[in-house]
Amino acid sequence: MLLVILICFTIAMLAAFVGSLAGLGGGVVLIPLLFLANGNIEGFEWVTPQTVVAMSLLVMFLQTFPPLYPLQKQSGSIIKLAVCF
């Protein structure tokens, strides 16, 4: 279990590093590495396409919405725009 946590932490740090260095999203690294770990490392049987997509969406949410919160408090325009769509 500890090995799985350490590998997940390493994958996350690598995805964040490459994503910030290259200007790409971390999913470019995160998704393929998790799928490779599923087939090759014991303890990653829980990795399915559904869990990887859910993790990717969670990462996008956590990276996108917190910086927008102060802007929304200032103008309220983000909520109005979101309701339109």
Domain ranges of the chain: 2-84
Contact 60, 54 (CB under 8 A): no
Instruction: Return all residues near 17 (Cβ < 8 A) that are at least 6 apart.
Output: none
**Exposed/middle/buried for 37, CB within 10 Å: 0-12, 13-18, 19+?**
middle
What is the value of pTM for the model shown?
A: 0.60
- Asked whether residue 84 carries a pLDDT value surpassing 80, the answer given is no
pLDDT digits (tens, 9 = 90+) for 9-60: 888 888 878 877 776 767 778 888 888 888 888 888 888 889 888 888 887 7
The backbone torsions φ and ψ at residue 48, rounded to the nearest 5 degrees and listed phi first, read: -125, 165
- Helix (H) or strand (E) segment spanning residue 36: helix 27-40
pLDDT at residue number 85:
55
User: Encoding tokens for residue 18?
Assistant: 């490459």
